[in-house]
Each structure stands twice: as structure tokens, then as C-alpha cells.
A and B are shown apart, each in its own frame.
Chain A
């Protein structure tokens, strides 16, 4: 387990204020925050490039405040990968094995190279590699020395959209397979949602909320978190049946149909965008192609300019976005019962 307790540092223009984190072994912990929130400073402090003015960094039960970076056994993946330009891919990956005794280093090297599928570029120099390849090499270099914590500073932000999406799923799979304890910072909500076991939201050098992804997205503690993570509904559930490309997910006793290929029994996170939720009155059951229809109670109406954010309780929390006109036509008020529908294809499912 890795802990940061009341970590504070004053860099003049910027301060980290009493940051508390605790990361379990094998957990992927994401710090989510806007640019300038202090995410990089936090990672650099944990890695040992800055020493904290106050507070403690505890690695596996031992105080690490005074350890230099090379003795902390904490890996670091930079945004632009920081590959050594004068060394080949293979030399880059093996760099750390000279300093840390790794058992079965050779098999480990082969295993990592296979897992990351970089066997065919081992003799190239970094500047001849694509962004995605550089990212894998940098990951391999960090993984081979078996760090007790691996820090990621927005490792996907330098890649283009398509590569980013496939790599972020892959990244989570690899980290989980190797049971690699990780602290990952990003400003991208979707990325956080896909990768995280738990999320901490950071703002102005402070952690404002820590929790599981669905807690952060559904129960933001303040306006900053709410605005920053957006109004997407995030639900956690278990797959209870699966056929014809439609999975049925049990979300706290309510069944939600999802058009996705997810194996039985697994835990999934479901994301529903508020604009894909359609509301109707309960008395007039409409014929519709939507597979998910729930009786719901309106819990909150929040005007947001031309549209209104409608908070719903269908056994799970759900958010819809409607125009003012629709609200009036349906005569929606807080406490009213409505029928909430969304299509199975409108649900974004993330297997965990």
C-alpha cells in the first residue's frame, strides 16, 4: 500500500495543500483535474524530485520522505515518454535492470515484449518510432524493474484520438494482468472512467473528492466537481445474461439492457449521456424502440440556459437533458412520476 499523508509543498506561485491519498496494492488510482491543478507536481513529489514541506510519503509501511528517487522503487511515465534518444529500444527497456536486481530478468523481458507486442522494433532508435510505439517502449522500460508504484503523467495525451482509445483499454488490461499498483493523472474524464479503480478529483492543488468512478460522477461533492466531470450518468452493475449481442446488467436490482459484448458475471460501468434519455408521461405508454423503459421520479430540475437538467430516480440515479418547452409540455415538476427511456445502443459500457 502507498500513502500520501497531508502532503504540502509551496512552490511560490503554486501550492499543494494537504493531499491525502492511499493506494491499495494492484489498484489503479486516477487523479483527475484540469490543467494547472498540480497533478504533475504531485507526481514529482511522490517520485522524489521535490521534497514536501509538510506531510509524509509512506511506501509499504515505510517513511520515504528522505529517500532519493533511485531508492524509492517508483516508476514514472512521462507525457512524451522520455525515451533515451541515444539508446535502442532494447537498451532503453533494459536500462533499469542494471541497477535493480530483477529475478528472471530475461524471461520477464520476453514476457513484457510479447505482451506489448514490440518484439519487431527492439533494434530501432526511439526517434524512428510512432507515438504509440514509444508509449509501449516507455511502459516496458518502467514495468521491467517491477516498481511498487508506477506513476503516469497523462501518457495518452500526445496521441491521436483513435490510437488513444485503443491504447487506454489495453493499458488497463496490461496493468491489471501484471497487478501493477498505479497512480495515473489525466484531465480527461472518459479516460479516468475507463482506467480507474478509484478517482480523486484535484483542483488548485487540493484533492476535492475521492471515490469510485460512479460516486464521483453521480454524487459530486461540489459544483466544481459536477461541472468538471459533466452530467453523464455512471452506473455500476453485474452482467446477468447475455445473448444476441445484448447484455442485461443488474444495477442495484434494476435491469438495464446494453448493446455490448461483455462476458457473464463481470462488473461493468455504464455511462448514459443525458441527451439520450427520453422522458414521457406514465399514463400514456408509448410504443418505442427503446429497450430500457423505467418508471422514475423527478428529483431535481436545474435550469441550464435553454435546457433543463432533470434529475431522476429509477432505482438508480439518472440524468436527462430536456428543452424548456418539453418540460412545460410534459408539465414536469419535482416529485412527478415519468417514464424514462433510452436505447440499448446509447449505453457506453466499460468492463472492469
Chain B
């Protein structure tokens, strides 16, 4: 009796889970399968489309790199220290998840625009501009994707036993050496996860990027642009091209990262 009831529950839950998976896969599969090959080929060979896809993939990778450089130290502090105002800092880190991305784009434009508090001096003294540049794309991508980096890296550090760090200290390692040789390598999995999520989130960003930098075009903007200039069929071809590049990147990176990591990261 008991067994039967619980197995019924599992069927029911699996059914719901299956619907969820379908909900994700159906639209994606449908866009892929409903393509007309000539249009797909035309868009695939289009210089503008190729550039847009390259911009997306490459600038998202740069963003993830910057996010790692800036996010890992903060993640380590959050994982290891208690300080006054810590929960405030944690909330701030999560804000980009809650802010509508067009709102984020407008806010960024005020600060990084040509007359903004950061954009102004940067242009004056460094000769760098954010509006309508790759730098701007990265800034917009970074804003919306940083939380993924910080939170995953933090989880990675939290999974490292504090006693390993303590033992390393008693063996003569300074805090930085402990970080370099113990905490960082052991948290690598969390950091890589953060890197992939950040990259994926950055590639998909539309709202913040379009406001700060319509040009140089990234793929999501190219999709929008093609839709307004041509029609739905052409823009969905661009969308499918971007989708396949992302999926290949995402899946191969996951395999590479976790396949390699499984070894050392025991327990």
C-alpha cells in the first residue's frame, strides 16, 4: 500500500517535470525545425550576422573573465568573513537579478555616458568611450551577470573545509598562499560554474546592451534589428544560428570543465 502510493507520487512528479522540460525544449526545437534552409544559409553567410555572433560570444567571454577577476575576491570574503553590513553587501550583489534590464541600461547610460560621472573622466583622461563601443557592451553585460559569478564562486569557497586552510597556515603558508594553493584550486569547480553561467547570461543580454551600445551589434540585437528591418523568418534564422553556437559552447564547456574537475575535487 505504502509502496504503491509513493510510486504514484513519483509518476506524478515525473509528469510535471516532463512538462517543464517540454516547455523549455519545444519552442527551441520548433524554431530550429521550422527554418527554411535558403534563408538560414543566407543569414549564416552574412558578414553582419557573423560579426554579431562573434561579438556576442567573444565579448561575453571577456565579460566572464572580468567578472572572475572582480568577483572571486569578493566571493572569498563573503564565504570566509563575517563583518558588519555583510547582509547589505549580499543584497547589493543580487540587485542586478531583480532590476529590469532596460532600467539597468538607462542607469548605466547615466553613469557611463559621455557626460556621466565615470564615462566623462574616462573619455577625457583615457580616451575610452562606453557608448556604442565594445567596452560599453562589456559594461552592460557585466552589470547583469556579475551576481552569477560571485554567488557560484562563493558556494565553491564555502565547500572548502576551513580546516584545510587552518592546517596550511600551521604549515607556514600565509593567507595569500593558502588562497593560491588550497582554497582557489579546491573552489575551482564553483568558479568555473560561475564563469559559464556568467558567460551564458552575458550572451543572452539584450535590454541593457541595446541602451548603452546598439552598435557594435551583438547577436540578440541583430535578431531584433533583422526583425524590424526584414521579417520574422529572417530574424528567427539569426536566432537559430546564435542558439546553436551558444548550445555547442555551453555543452562543450560543461563537459570540459566538469570532466577535468571530477578528479581532484573529492569528498
A: residues with CB less than 8 A from B are 44, 47-49, 68-70, 72-76, 78, 80, 82, 84-86, 95-96, 98-100, 125-127, 141-142, 145, 147
Contact = CB atoms under 8 A, between A and B. Distances in A.
B172 interface: yes
A87 to B, nearest CB: 8
B266 A95 contact: no
Contacts of A98: 172
Contact of B164 (A44, A82, A127, A147): A82
A145 B266 contact: no
B170 A75 contact: yes
B140 to A, nearest CB: 36
Contacts of A145: 171-172
Size bracket, chain B contacts:
20 to 34
Contacts of B254: none
Contacts of A99: 171-174, 177
Contact of B163 (A73, A74, A78, A95): A78
Given A86-B185, A86-B186, A76 B170 contact: yes
Nearest to B267: A85
Q: Most chain-A CB neighbours within 10 Å: which of B161, B163, B170?
A: B170
A73 B171 CA distance: 8
Contacts of A86: 185-186, 264-265
Contacts of A49: 166
Interface string B231-267: 0000000000000000000000000000000001111
A86 to B, nearest CB: 4
A68 B166 CA distance: 11
Task: Give the 7 A-B CB pairs with smallest separation, nearest first.
Answer: A99-B172, A96-B171, A86-B264, A127-B266, A69-B169, A82-B163, A76-B170
Contacts, number: 72
Given A76-B166, A84-B182, A85-B265, 6 more contacts: A48-B169, A75-B170, A76-B170, A96-B171, A96-B173, A127-B267
A76 B169 CA distance: 10
Given A84-B182, A86-B186, A86-B264, A68 B167 contact: no
B209 to A, nearest CB: 38
Contacts of B170: 47, 69-70, 72, 74-76, 142, 147
Contacts of B264: 85-86, 125
A145 to B, nearest CB: 6
Contacts of B266: 85, 125-127
A96 B172 contact: yes
Contacts of B164: 82, 84-85
26 contacts: A44-B166, A68-B169, A69-B170, A70-B172, A72-B170, A73-B172, A75-B171, A76-B167, A78-B163, A82-B167, A84-B168, A85-B164, A86-B264, A86-B265, A96-B171, A96-B172, A96-B173, A98-B172, A99-B171, A99-B174, A99-B177, A125-B264, A142-B170, A142-B171, A145-B171, A145-B172
B166 A141 contact: no
Nearest to A127: B266
A258 B168 CA distance: 46
Nearest to A100: B172
Nearest to A73: B172
B183 to A, nearest CB: 11
A98 B171 CA distance: 9
Contacts of B182: 84
Nearest to A71: B172
Q: Most chain-A CB neighbours within 10 Å: which of B169, B186, B264, B267?
A: B169
A75 to B, nearest CB: 6
Nearest to B161: A82
A69 B177 CA distance: 13
A71 to B, nearest CB: 8
Interface string B133-173: 00000000000000000000000000001011011111111
B171 A95 contact: yes
Contacts of B167: 76, 78, 82, 84
A68 B171 CA distance: 12
Nearest to A76: B170
Q: Most chain-A CB neighbours within 10 Å: which of B166, B168, B171, B266?
A: B171
A72 to B, nearest CB: 8
A124 to B, nearest CB: 12
A48 B171 CA distance: 12
B32 to A, nearest CB: 40
B267 A70 contact: no
A70 B174 contact: yes
A126 B171 CA distance: 18
A85 B163 CA distance: 12
Interface in B162-198: 163-164, 166-174, 177, 181-182, 185-186
A282 B121 CA distance: 105
B156 to A, nearest CB: 13
Nearest to A86: B264
Q: Most chain-A CB neighbours within 10 Å: which of B167, B169, B174, B181?
A: B167
Contact of B186 (A47, A68, A85, A95): A85
Nearest to B264: A86
Nearest to A80: B163
B186 A69 contact: no
Contacts of A48: 169
Nearest to B178: A70
Contacts of B166: 44, 47, 49, 69, 76, 82
